[in-house]
Amino acid sequence: MEHDLVQPTMEAIRRWSGVECPNPAARLGLADMAGLIADMAKLRGTMVFEDEPSSFELALRDCKEPGK
Amino acid sequence: MSDLAELSMTEAADAFARGEVKAEALARACLARIDAHNAKLNVTVRLDREAALDAASAADHARAIGINAGKLGGVPMMHKDMYYRKGKVSTCGSKIRKNFVADKTATVLLKLDAAGAIDMGTLNMAEFAQNPTGHNAHYGHCHNPWNLDYCTGGSSSGSGSGVAGRLFYAALGSDTGGSIRLPASICGVTGLKATQTRVSRHGVMPLSFSADNVGPLVRTAKDAARFLAITAGHDPHDATSAPEPVPDYEAALTGDIRGMRIAVCSTYFLDGADAPVLAAFEAALQVLKDRGATVDYVAAPSMPAIATYVSVLSRVEGAAIHANWMRDVPQDYAIHLNARLFGGYAMPGHYYVEALARRGPLLKQFVAETLTGYDLVATPTVKTRVPTLAETDIDENPANWSRFMAVSANTRPFNYLGLPTISIPCGFDDRGLPVGLQLAGRPFAESTVLKASDAYQRATDWHRRSPLM
Q: Which of B322, B343, B314, B324 is nearest to A18 (CA)?
A: B324
**Tens-place pLDDT, residues B380-402:** 999 999 999 999 998 888 788 77
**Could you state, in order of their start, the residue ranges of all structural domains in chain B?**
13-464
Active site residue B80: yes
Q: According to the model, what pLDDT value does residue A32 have?
A: 81
φ, ψ of residue B36 in degrees (nearest 5): -80, -30
Over residues B367-376, mean pLDDT: 97
Strand partners, B298: B265
Contact A56, B418 (CB under 8 A): yes
Active site residue B155: yes
Q: For the CA atoms of B458, B459, B463, B467, what is the dihedral angle to 10 degrees?
A: 140
Q: Which of B328, B332, B317, B330 is nearest to B97 (CA)?
A: B332
Percent of residues, chain B, with pLDDT higher than 90: 95
CATH class of B13-464: alpha beta
CA–CA distance, B452 with B85 (Å, rounded to integer)? 34
| A35 Cβ neighbours under 8 A, 6+ residues apart | none
Instruction: State chain B's mean pLDDT as an integer.
Output: 96
Q: According to the model, what pLDDT value does residue B398 have?
A: 79
Does B197 sit within 8 Å of A60, measured CB to CB? Answer: yes
**Tens-place pLDDT, residues B164-190:** 999 999 999 999 999 999 999 999 999
Amino acid identity of residue B404, one-letter, is F
Q: What is the pTM of this model?
A: 0.97
- Å from B13 to nearest chain A CA? 30
Active site residue B179: yes
Helix (H, G, I), strand (E, B) or coil at B119: strand
CA–CA distance, B391 with B57 (Å, rounded to integer)? 45
Over residues B364-373, mean pLDDT: 97
Over residues B131-154, mean pLDDT: 97
Does A65 sit within 8 Å of B448, measured CB to CB? Answer: yes
Does B356 sit within 8 Å of A23, measured CB to CB? Answer: no
Contact B232, B201 (CB under 8 A): no
- Catalytic residue, from B156, B157, B161, B179: name it: B179
- Catalytic residue, from B8, B155, B156, B210: name it: B155
Mutation target to probe the A interface, by most A beta carbons within 10 A, among B241, B329, B345, B401 is: B345
Does A39 sit within 8 Å of B363, measured CB to CB? Answer: no
Over residues A11-38, mean pLDDT: 92
Over residues B403-420, mean pLDDT: 94
Over residues A2-16, mean pLDDT: 93
Task: Write out chain A residues lying below 8 Å of B346, CB-based.
Answer: 9, 12-13, 30, 33
Residue B105 has pLDDT above 80, yes or no: yes
Does A68 sit within 8 Å of B326, measured CB to CB? Answer: no
Does B442 sit within 8 Å of A64, measured CB to CB? Answer: yes
Task: Write out chain A residues lying below 8 Å of B197, CB-based.
Answer: 57, 60
Q: Is B394 on the interface with A (CB under 8 A)?
A: yes
Residue B2 has pLDDT above 70, yes or no: no
Burial class (CB in 10 A: 0-12, 13-18, 19+), A48: exposed
pLDDT band at residue A52 using 50, 70 and 90 as cut-offs: confident
CA–CA distance, B337 with B91 (Å, rounded to integer)? 15
Q: Which of A46, A60, A65 is nearest to B364 (CA)?
A: A60
Over residues B287-292, mean pLDDT: 98
Residue B250 has pLDDT above 90, yes or no: yes
**Tens-place pLDDT, residues B33-83:** 999 999 999 999 999 999 999 999 999 999 999 999 899 999 999 999 999
| Cβ–Cβ pairs < 8 A, chains A and B | 139
Residue B464 has pLDDT above 80, yes or no: yes
φ, ψ of residue B418 in degrees (nearest 5): 75, 15
CA atoms within 13 A on the CB side of B237: 12
Q: Is B297 on the interface with A (CB under 8 A)?
A: no
pLDDT band at residue B12 using 50, 70 and 90 as cut-offs: very high
Residue A33 has pLDDT above 90, yes or no: no
CA–CA distance, B54 with B160 (Å, rounded to integer)? 26
Interface subset of B 331-370, CB within 8 angstroms of A: 331, 333, 335-336, 338-340, 342-343, 345-346, 351, 353-354, 356-361, 363-364, 367
Over residues B393-421, mean pLDDT: 91
Q: What strand order describes the sheet that includes B76-80?
A: B44-47, B118-123, B76-80
Q: Which residues of B42-56 are buried (b: 16+ CB within 10 A; e: fewer)?
A: bbbbebbeeebbebb
Q: According to the model, what pLDDT value does residue B1 have?
A: 53
pLDDT band at residue B262 using 50, 70 and 90 as cut-offs: very high
How far apart, in Å, do the first and last CA atoms of chain A sit?
A: 56
Does A47 sit within 8 Å of B338, measured CB to CB? Answer: no
Q: What strand order describes the sheet that includes B421-428?
A: B171-174, B214-218, B190-193, B421-428, B434-441, B376-380, B261-265, B294-298
Residue A31 has pLDDT above 90, yes or no: no
Residue B218 has pLDDT above 60, yes or no: yes
Mutation target to probe the B interface, by most B beta carbons within 10 A, among A6, A21, A23, A52 is: A23
